[in-house]
């Protein structure tokens, strides 16, 4: 599979003045999308590509060749060699990565082969049958990816990695009023999937979804954020934990290293080795991806930082990319947390968030797939989807309790190749969360 990569490495070996980073990868997906408790479409798709980044002194040029063969690769290299001397230099470039450590091998299963279309369809048929008597239908996606890549550079790195993440999202939607509840499964190990647990949770949520639908006014609310929401806010926050953001002066955390930024209950790590999550072997530039404490008991401890920004900002190099975020659990049960709220909200999922100002972490977004009213410690009604306009930093500062349990939440980066990653998070109780308007719809 890697013959073109090896050929390219050999060709580059004849140009000692060049530094390079080259990789070859094969990615495939088996993608089932369903709606109204039936298939929308089944897609199989694959991509085989070779990428090369060349450096000469401080000049750089990159090229990608899809479905590479020797003629195409050598032609692209020839073209790159013609242009590279004519390019402006980047004075901040120093060298390519030199972390030659190899990741420990981990068990691997190709989940496209492990979970065939027949099994996926049977799971969906079974869940659809369970929700149908409640007049709910299923919508969502059941995706398995499989990828393998090899990476080399002029400092002698030669690393191989593979992954096969699963993303299964089921939305049960009420046929009459569109009230929606959500269940997901994600990770790389399908042995953790428990259809009975998913069914039980869906049916429990459907009981709440049958409650009357109301609207609420704009204002500040005490609320419970579901783990998906906590994880998504922290993912957005992590943009500012990257040394590139620090370099652009767009990081909230500029000047706040080793400062208490959040309450003591907040601890966030980037952990690529959790077996319940989508794991990662290598990070920025091919460096070994290891566990990194980002927020420790409320104190900001580290920027994720590769070699380039290490040189520019002086931050320690770690190669982390914040793809495997874990928010540590707290001490309370979910029942206790809900019971402690006199008048508030439960938010299941977020939609269409966008920063207003990345540096101060202000953003707007909406609730989706199940927003509920809490009255006297109980979920009493369904609420129309709501808009919030908040600062993520304030949301975390206003965290008053975390659940004593964490959940694996899958996310998809829905551009180019359908990359899947996971986070782990508990439910969180937040005070003074600003709801800025209602959508007046479910």
Partner 1 sequence: MEQKIKSIIAKLDSSDITFADVRITITDYEYIYFSNGNLRGMGSSLGSHAIGIRILKDGCFGFAGSGDLSDSSIDKLIKRAKDNATHGAAFQKKKLSFPALGATQGEYAFTPEIDPFTMDREEKLDFLSRLADSIKPQGKIVYSGVSANFEKQEKYYANTEGSYYHSVVYNSDPAMSVAASDGNEMQSRTWPGHMGTGRAGFELFYKHEFEKNTERIIKEATDLLSAPRVKDKKADIIIGGGHLGLQLHESIGHATEADRIFGQEISYAGKTFVRPEMLGKFQYGSPILNVYSDSTDPAGMGYHMLDDEGVPGKRIDIIKDGILVNQQTSRHIAHLLGLEPSSNMKASFADDIPLVRMTNLCIAPGKGSLEELIASTERGYFLDFTKTWSIDDNRNNFQFTTEIGYEIKDGRIVGIVKEPTYFGITQDFWNACDGICGEEEWAYQSTFNCGKGEPGQVMRLSHGVAPARFRAVDMLPG
The nearer residue to partner 1, 52 or 399, going by C-beta atoms, is: 52
Q: Which two tokens stand for residue 191?
A: 């042995």
Stretch of residues binding partner 1 (CB under 8 A), selected from 140-148, 314-322, 372-380, 425-433: 140-148
Contact set for partner 1, span 250-309 (CB under 8 A): 250
Paired strand residues for 186: 167
d(C-alpha 344, C-alpha 143), whole Å: 35
Least distance in Å: CB of 216 to partner 1?
Answer: 13
Paired strand residues for 51: 23, 64
Q: Which of 15, 31, 381, 431 binds partner 1 (CB under 8 A)?
A: 31
The nearer residue to partner 1, 197 or 356, going by C-beta atoms, is: 356
Q: Which of 10, 16, 191, 414 binds partner 1 (CB under 8 A)?
A: 414
| Helix residue ranges per DSSP H, 238-280 | 243-247
Contact set for partner 1, span 152-191 (CB under 8 A): 169, 171, 173, 178, 180
d(C-alpha 220, C-alpha 278), whole Å: 36
The nearer residue to partner 1, 271 or 284, going by C-beta atoms, is: 284
215 binds partner 1 (CB under 8 A): no
Q: Which of 1, 6, 38, 102 binds partner 1 (CB under 8 A)?
A: 38
198 binds partner 1 (CB under 8 A): no
The nearer residue to partner 1, 184 or 318, going by C-beta atoms, is: 184
Stretch of residues binding partner 1 (CB under 8 A), selected from 94-102, 120-128, 222-230, 324-332: 120-128
Contact set for partner 1, span 393-412 (CB under 8 A): 412
d(C-alpha 285, C-alpha 111), whole Å: 27
Site string for partner 1, 68-97 (x = CB under 8 A): ----x---x--x---x--xxxxxxx-----
Least distance in Å: CB of 332 to partner 1?
Answer: 30
């Amino acid at each position: 599979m890697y013959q073109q990569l090896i050929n390219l490495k050999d060709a580059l070996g004849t140009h000692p003045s060049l530094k390079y980073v080259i990789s070859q990868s094969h990615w495939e997906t088996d993608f089932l999308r369903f709606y109204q408790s039936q298939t929308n479409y089944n897609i199989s798709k694959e991509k085989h590509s070779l990428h090369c980044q060349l450096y000469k002194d401080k000049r750089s040029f990159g090229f990608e060749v899809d479905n590479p063969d020797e003629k195409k690769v050598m032609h692209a290299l020839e073209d790159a060699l013609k242009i590279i001397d004519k390019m402006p230099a980047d004075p901040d470039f120093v060298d390519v990565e030199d972390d030659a450590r190899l990741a420990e091998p981990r068990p691997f299963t190709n989940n496209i082969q492990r979970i065939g279309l027949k099994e996926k369809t049977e799971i969906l048929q079974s869940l659809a049958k369970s929700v149908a008597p409640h007049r709910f239908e299923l919508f969502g996606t059941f995706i398995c990816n499989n990828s393998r890549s090899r990476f080399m550079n002029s400092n002698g790195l030669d690393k191989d990695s593979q992954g096969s993440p699963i993303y299964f999202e089921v939305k049960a939607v009420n046929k009459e009023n569109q009230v929606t509840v959500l269940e997901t499964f994600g990770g790389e190990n399908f042995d953790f999937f428990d259809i009975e647990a998913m069914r039980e949770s869906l049916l429990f949520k459907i009981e709440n979804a049958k409650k009357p639908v109301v609207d609420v006014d704009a204002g500040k609310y005490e609320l419970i954020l579901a783990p998906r929401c906590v994880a998504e806010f922290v993912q957005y926050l992590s943009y500012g934990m990257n040394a590139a953001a620090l370099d652009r002066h767009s990081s909230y955390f500029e000047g706040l290293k080793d400062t208490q930024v959040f309450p003591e209950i907040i601890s966030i790590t980037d952990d690529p080795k959790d077996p319940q999550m989508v794991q990662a072997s290598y990070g920025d530039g091919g460096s070994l991806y290891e566990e990194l404490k980002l927020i420790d008991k409320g104190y900001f401890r580290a920027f994720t930082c590769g070699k380039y920004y290490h040189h520019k900002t002086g931050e320690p190099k770690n190669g982390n990319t914040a793809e495997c975020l874990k928010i540590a659990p707290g001490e309370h049960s979910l029942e206790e947390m809900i019971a402690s709220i006199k008048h508030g909200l439960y938010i299941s999922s977020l939609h269409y968030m966008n920063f207003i100002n990345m540096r101060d972490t202000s953003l707007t977004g909406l609730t989706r797939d199940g927003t509920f009213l809490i009255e006297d410690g109980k979920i009493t009604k369904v609420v129309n989807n709501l808009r919030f306009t908040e600062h993520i930093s304030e949301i975390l500062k206003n965290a008053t309790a975390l659940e004593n349990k964490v959940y694996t939440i899958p996310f998809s980066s829905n551009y180019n190749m359908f990359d899947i990653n996971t986070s782990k998070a508990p439910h969180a109780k937040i005070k003074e969360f600003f709801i800025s308007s209602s959508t007046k719809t479910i």
